[in-house]
Chain A
Amino acid sequence: MKTFTVGGIHPPEYKLTASKAIETMPLPAEVAISMSQHLGKPAKPLVKVGDEVKKGQLIGQADGFISANVHASTSGKVKAVKNAPHPGGNYSMTVVITTDGRDEWIEGCNTPAEDWKALSKEEILRRIKEAGIVGMGGAGFPTSVKLSPPKDKTIDTIILNGAECEPFLTADHRLMLESAGGIVEGLAIIASLFEGKAKSYIGIESNKPDAVSALEAASKGRGIEIVTLETKYPQGAEKQLINAITGRTIEEGQLPFDKGCLVQNVGTALAVYEAVTMQKPLVDRIVTVSGMEVKTAKNIRAIIGTRFSDIALFAGSMTEKTNQVITGGPMMGRSQFTLEVPVTKTTSGILFINNTLLASSRERTCIRCGKCISGCPQGLEPWLLATEAEFRRLEDAETYGLANCTECGSCSYQCPSGRELVHWIKYAKALLNNRRQRKTA
């Protein structure tokens, strides 16, 4: 079984919803569609209060190169265009739509599937860009940008990421079981952009043998290799996945295409397939609703903009012991301060948990046990980076590889002293970023 070579940890899996088929969530009364669905500049809102919108209508225009289009996820009337809570932990420009219940598509969208093989490369890329597709694994990098690497870079390896190494999350798992055909077509479309010269892989952790067989069956004779990966966190992190499948290492400052690789999430591949063949913009996604404190954990198909409060109700609400609501997985996700936040294109999971560590948590001194080092998949010394950050020695932190940290959280998970190692590292990165922005401004 393949795996990445350095570090890694084995948190409990908690895949409570692995056997639960995807349920489509009923239309909520209101959706809040953020203009920041992606990495990069927020989209520019195109609608104003009172406008009638149809499902799939462009309501936010990509602003700049690293940005993405945003579409209405159902039909209705614009109630407000305002700053509203965003699952990233901040406020962002948001279009609030009162739904009309008809869920009516705008003309020219969601058309019957056509044969993508007849389309030119430019047309395929245009459709992906129009549809506002971003990386659905969590980072939200605009897909059309990622699919257009600089001319001097040769892509020889395309990897679909179906590892889903975060505890609790099963959204990609269910998608691979229920839409294997679409995922394989999406991968074929992506591969066609590189003239079929690149070898295609789909990497899946060994705890999902049913997904491995489903994709093996769907990809028979298509020249796609399904790779079973050891169940180890963070197997699904881009750099680790590349290392596990190809043996290559992405060095600090490099991007995957520097080593001939392109990685896409399985959900993104399906979105690409639907966008290219049916002109369907990215208006919904699969979300795992789970955690120990939610009554009925499930996998749902929710339209973008569905508020967490509506989803909590749909999942039978949560127990009184809930003290944290997390978006994403428990390793890299974010805790929310309100249930007003909406689903975005990168919301892979919503977890309702009772975090008992909060009552007693206190950082204690490092006892030099070395578990952060042995767990670090990037071969760093997290204890040192965190200490440098704590004392604001940011340049020193940089010389010890601060920028090479992928923020997977393995170090904090391991630490017997409860030190917030990855938090300090993120903090140091943010301080450095601010300082640089101020310098250039």
Chain B
Amino acid sequence: MEPLKLKVSYAPFVRSKDSIESVMYNVALALLPATVLSVYYFGIPALLVTLTAIASSIAFEWMTDRIRKKPDSCFDGSAVVTGLLLALNVPSGLPLWMVVIGSFVAIVVTKHLFGGLGFNIFNPALVARVFLLISFPVAMTSWPVPLSVDMQTAASPLGILKTDGIAALQGFSYMDALLGRTGGSLGETSAAALLLGAAWLFYKRYITLTIPLTFIGSTLALVGIAWAIDPANYADPIFHLLTGGLILGAFFMATDMVTSPLSLRGQILFGVGGGLLTAVIRLWGGYPEGVSFAILIMNSLVPLLDSWDLNDIKAKKQQSPKTA
């Protein structure tokens, strides 16, 4: 009766089907509409930037695993997501060697030097974007015009707003911004494509709406107040919603599991803080766009936000009656 080899392991013996791979590849899938649309608008250069970013991210992941003597993680999907997010955060005309440098900063410096997946404090793709922006400010702000044949470049709507003021935006169409027919980085252009992807992640329960809604809500609230007081000098909230990286950042970067708080109230503070910082930078800062800086600043506060709940558990423990 007992030729069977019985194996002993830990309970529970059923597990959910979620895995790191399912989380990461679903994020990648959710970014696909925006990626496809950006290739449609910006042509082959956008495709090359995307493929370079993903391939170099995977390559750096593979190399770092070798050096750190860690099990292979280059196909767990996290490098793909980082590469894809990096590509969506840069202009389509960016020289490819700069993209590779971006991947290096993201994967090696921001992720693995801090301990690898799960231990990085800052969002890798965002650190890479900011690194590139500071290192190559011209290349990083030359936005090709969508659907142009001769790779014309133009400023992004937020850039125009910052340098030339609101008067220069006469004739700006919200519909263009919604569909992505404005200048900007690959993934910043179409709000509709991004929201489609975000809806998928929400449906699959890989993100909750706490961070995106508080983030966008507080940005819009602050720019809305400025607009209400002085509409001659400040753009309206819908303009701010549809341009720049607000939707990409709020739904795909600020919700990064590794670099966002665990508890509900931590997430609310994280979203509100990020949203307000974004608005402050957009309205009064030196850069036209503030989403990346805002998220990175909030990333650094995550341990503090998380300790709030832990301290509560400790405090409750000290008060609890000791009968046992």
Contacts and interface: CB of A to CB of B under 8 A. Distances in A.
Contacts of A260: none
Nearest to B312: A379
Interface stretch (B5-13, B50-58, B215-223): B5-13
A253 B12 contact: no
Q: How large is the interface on A (under 10, 10 to 19, 20 to 34, 35 or more residues)?
A: 35 or more
B324 interface: yes
B8 A336 contact: yes
B315 to A, nearest CB: 10
Contacts of A253: 320-324
Contacts of B323: 253-255, 258
Contact of A369 (B23, B263, B322): B23
Contact of A416 (B4, B18, B71): B18
Interface string A138-157: 00000000000000000000
Contact of A11 (B6, B16, B118, B313): B16
Given A309-B2, A336-B6, A370 B14 contact: no
15 contacts: A252-B317, A322-B6, A324-B7, A333-B13, A334-B11, A335-B9, A335-B11, A361-B9, A364-B76, A412-B12, A416-B16, A416-B23, A417-B20, A422-B10, A423-B11
A337 interface: yes
Nearest to B318: A399
A12 B314 CA distance: 34
A384 B310 contact: yes
Majority secondary structure of chain A interface residues (helix, strand, loop or mixed): loop
Given A366-B118, A369-B23, A401-B317, A381 B310 contact: yes
Contacts of A401: 313, 316-317
Given A400-B310, A414-B18, A420-B10, A365 B117 contact: yes
Interface string B275-297: 00000000000000000000000
Interface of B: 1-2, 4-16, 18-20, 22-23, 71, 76, 116-119, 257-258, 260, 262-263, 309-310, 313-314, 316-317, 320-324
A418 B12 CA distance: 11
B13 A255 contact: no
B16 A414 contact: yes
Contacts of B309: 381
Interface stretch (A26-34, A277-285, A350-358): A350-358
Contacts of B11: 330-335, 409, 412, 422-423
Nearest to A12: B14
Interface string A11-50: 1101000000000000000000000000000000000000
A338 interface: yes
Interface in A390-441: 399-401, 403, 409, 412-418, 420, 422-423
Contacts of B13: 324, 326, 330-331, 333, 335, 351, 353, 355
A380 interface: yes
B313 to A, nearest CB: 5
Nearest to B116: A365
Given A399-B317, A401-B313, A330 B14 contact: yes
Contacts of A413: 12, 14-16
A367 B310 CA distance: 18
A367 B9 contact: no
Nearest to A310: B1
A266 interface: no
Interface of A: 9, 11-12, 14, 89, 167, 251-255, 258, 309, 312-313, 318, 320, 322-326, 330-339, 351, 353, 355, 357-358, 361-362, 364-371, 373, 380-381, 384, 399-401, 403, 409, 412-418, 420, 422-423
Given A339-B1, A373-B262, A423 B10 contact: yes
Contact of B258 (A337, A367, A384, A414): A367
A333 to B, nearest CB: 6
Contact of B15 (A89, A334, A412): A412
Given A253-B321, A258-B323, A367-B20, A338 B6 contact: yes
Nearest to B10: A423
B6 A337 contact: yes
A331 B14 CA distance: 7
B313 A381 contact: yes
Question: Which 6 pairs between the two chains have the least Cβ-Cβ distance?
Answer: A365-B118, A409-B12, A423-B10, A416-B18, A330-B13, A331-B12
Contacts of B22: 416
Contacts of A258: 321, 323
A58 B13 CA distance: 36
A318 B320 CA distance: 49
Contacts of B23: 367, 369, 416
Contacts of A409: 11-12
B68 to A, nearest CB: 12
Given A254-B321, A254-B323, A370-B257, A309 B1 contact: yes
Contacts of A366: 118
Contacts of A414: 16, 18
Nearest to B262: A370
A416 B317 contact: no
Chain B CB within 10 Å, residue with most, of A326, A330, A367, A418:
A367
Contacts of A373: 262-263
B257 A367 contact: yes
B34 to A, nearest CB: 23
Contacts of A338: 2, 6
Contacts of A330: 11-14
B118 A358 contact: no
Contacts of B7: 323-324, 335, 355, 358
A313 B322 CA distance: 49
B15 A400 contact: no
A353 B22 CA distance: 24
Contact of A251 (B12, B263, B321): B321
A417 B11 CA distance: 15
B322 A323 contact: no
Contacts of A365: 116-119
Contacts of A251: 320-321
Given A335-B7, A368-B258, A409-B12, 18 more contacts: A14-B14, A252-B320, A253-B320, A254-B320, A255-B324, A313-B1, A324-B8, A326-B13, A333-B13, A336-B6, A357-B15, A365-B119, A367-B118, A368-B262, A370-B257, A384-B310, A418-B19, A423-B10
Nearest to A383: B262
Nearest to B22: A416
Chain B CB within 10 Å, residue with most, of A258, A373, A416:
A416
B255 to A, nearest CB: 11
A167 B19 contact: no
A333 B23 CA distance: 28
Nearest to A384: B310
